[in-house]
Amino acid sequence: MKVQEPCRACLEGLVRKTTALSGDDPGVLDSSLSLLEDLFDADATPPWVADRLLAHIRRRTGVWDPYASVKHREYREAQAAVRGLCGKTDDCLEDFMRLSALGNSTDYFTGGTFTGEVPVLEGDVDRAAAAVSGEHGEILMLGDNIGDFVFDLPLLRFLGRSGRKVFYAVREHPAQNDLSMEDVRRLGLQDLYPRIISTGKANVGLPRESIAGEIERLWKGKGPVIAKGMGNFETISEFDGERQVVYIMKVKCPAVARAVGSDVGTYIAHVR
């Protein structure tokens, strides 16, 4: 998905939040906002712009993981929210997809919190469930924010009980509040789910040029691909003509709402 005018405010919010968490240097903020104007081009995707803004702030400040404390808080909030939802879902694929979608509620530069109720899942729910429950034993699931992982665990475990082998891909290095392998090691998340694999990069979303190794094998295989969140949608929608992809996310901005034919604030399963 290419950048649209509503993306400008989200990217400016990312710049302001990241510079504030990286020492709040006015010079870094000014140079980052100037860079945003230079990068904001009709041929760019929002994650492509975000990657370059985050790299610029990292170079200027030397702060490697400005969202570390934010991610820690989000992880604890997600754990508490999931505990509060015990008993509110049935042991079925559709309910675990709904719970997974709820995990995509937060972005700390656009706002959002986890609610106390499992949401209605709109969009291509039946098509998504059919794709995920197909015959092939391996599934690639592309993670997003650190809170997503907590809400994805019940879905991952349900699919595992159904005989599926799900590989859960996360960033190698920190990128905004997305889950990275550094977080996985720090929090011991592979003790909770062993099949966590790395994209090898720090990109927001998954650009086509970053698909390699085990992710490329799974991408080219016959099993389903599930992509969480808007960053994955904004990048993968540029090349998902190569294969079917099941997107699960909360729609948080008008540009994505327009692209998927839904309303801002809805939780959706979207199949392309």
Q: Does residue 31 lie within any of the structural domains?
A: yes
- Give the residue with greater pLDDT, 148 vs 116: 148
Identify the pLDDT of residue 136.
81
Q: What is the pLDDT of residues 133-163, one digit of tens each?
A: 987 899 999 999 999 999 999 999 999 999 9
CB neighbour list of residue 53: distance below 8 Å, 6 or more residues apart: 11, 14, 15, 18, 32, 35, 36, 39
Residues 38 and 96 grouped into a single domain: no
Q: Does residue 77 lie within any of the structural domains?
A: no
Q: What is the pLDDT of residues 240-256, one digit of tens each?
A: 999 999 999 999 999 99
According to DSSP, the residues that pair with 96 across neighbouring strands are: none
* Nearest partner of 53 among 20, 71, 70, 29, judged by Cα: 29
Residues 133 and 48 grouped into a single domain: no
- Give the residue with greater pLDDT, 116 vs 72: 72
Predicted confidence band of residue 109 (pLDDT cuts 50, 70, 90): low
Identify the pLDDT of residue 152.
98
Q: Can you tell me the distance from the alpha carbon of 248 to that of 145, in angstroms, rounded to the nearest whole number?
A: 13
Q: Tell me the CATH number at 117.
A: 3.40.50.10880
Identify the pLDDT of residue 110.
63
Question: What tokens does 16 get?
Answer: 């302001």
Residues 34 and 166 grouped into a single domain: no
Q: Is the pLDDT of residue 114 over 90?
A: no
CB 96 within 8 A of CB 158: yes
CB 103 within 8 A of CB 148: yes
Q: pTM for the complete prediction?
A: 0.96
Q: What is the pLDDT of residues 168-222, one digit of tens each?
A: 999 999 999 999 999 999 999 999 999 999 999 999 999 999 999 999 999 999 9
DSSP code of residue 202: -
Q: Is the pLDDT of residue 108 over 70?
A: no
Question: What tokens does 132 get?
Answer: 């995920």
Identify the pLDDT of residue 115.
80
* Nearest partner of 32 among 44, 45, 22, 43, judged by Cα: 22
Residues 15 and 101 grouped into a single domain: no
Identify the pLDDT of residue 113.
77
- Packing angle of the helix pair 125-132, 93-102 (nearest 10 deg): 110
- Looking at residue 70, its amino acid is V
Residues 28 and 100 grouped into a single domain: no
Residues 38 and 99 grouped into a single domain: no
Q: Which domain holds residue 227?
A: 87-271
Residues 38 and 94 grouped into a single domain: no
Which residue is listed with tokens 């719970």? 99
Residues 106 and 236 grouped into a single domain: yes
DSSP-based three-state secondary structure for 204: coil
Residues 25 and 92 grouped into a single domain: no
Cα 228 versus chain centre, distance? 5
> What are the DSSP calls for 9-33, one per residue?
HHHHHHHHHHHHHTT--HHHHHHHH
Identify the pLDDT of residue 86.
79
Q: What is the pLDDT of residues 7-56, one digit of tens each?
A: 999 999 999 999 999 999 999 999 999 999 999 999 999 999 999 999 99
Residues 162 and 253 grouped into a single domain: yes
Is residue 185 left, alpha or beta, with left meaning phi > 0 and alpha meaning psi from -120 to 50?
alpha
Q: Is the pLDDT of residue 117 over 90?
A: no
CB 201 within 8 A of CB 172: yes
First to last CA, the chain: 13
Q: Can you tell me the distance from the alpha carbon of 66 to that of 22, in angstroms, rounded to the nearest whole number?
A: 6
